Amino acid sequence: MKAIITAILLCLSTVTNAEVRNYITAADLIRMLKSPKVVDKANAAGYTIGVFDSTFGSLHCTPKVHPNTLLDAVVKSSEQLPAAKLDEIGAAEFVIAVIIVNGKPCTLI
């Protein structure tokens, strides 16, 4: 099953960015995390935590952290990039990058 999913992701990665619009960009995610609306924050938190959980064991082996620690790392990392760049990056890709940079890679044995 893992091989099938990997093959599908490889096929999808050949599509150029010009042909695809991310459903939610990193900028959208950050706006939601900083929003005064509880529903926006909850949706963004759920999305971020879902990305963390769904990539655990395959893209990273970061020990489970408190959700607020993860959300703070995402917001803090966003402040290091120009706003225009955040509009180009998909939210999931951005969260994965933050996890990998701040977390622990999986070891292959």
**One digit per residue, pLDDT tens: the chain, 109 residues?**
344 444 444 444 444 444 555 678 899 999 999 999 999 999 999 999 998 888 888 888 888 888 899 999 999 988 888 888 888 888 888 888 888 787 877 765 5
Token pair listed for 21: 């619009």
Report pLDDT for 97: 84
| Number of neighbours of residue 108 by Cβ within 10 angstroms | 4
Model-wide pTM > 0.85: no
Report pLDDT for 14: 47
Report pLDDT for 104: 77
One-letter amino acid identity for 76? K
Token pair listed for 45: 């938190």
Is residue 30 within 8 A of residue 94, CB to CB? The reply is no
CATH topology of domain 23-102: 10k-s Protein, Hypothetical Protein A; Chain A (1.10.890)
| Number of neighbours of residue 107 by Cβ within 10 angstroms | 6
Domain boundaries, the chain: 23-102
Report pLDDT for 43: 94
Backbone phi, psi, residue 25, to 5° = -90, 170
Distance of alpha carbon 32 from alpha carbon 9, whole angstroms: 27
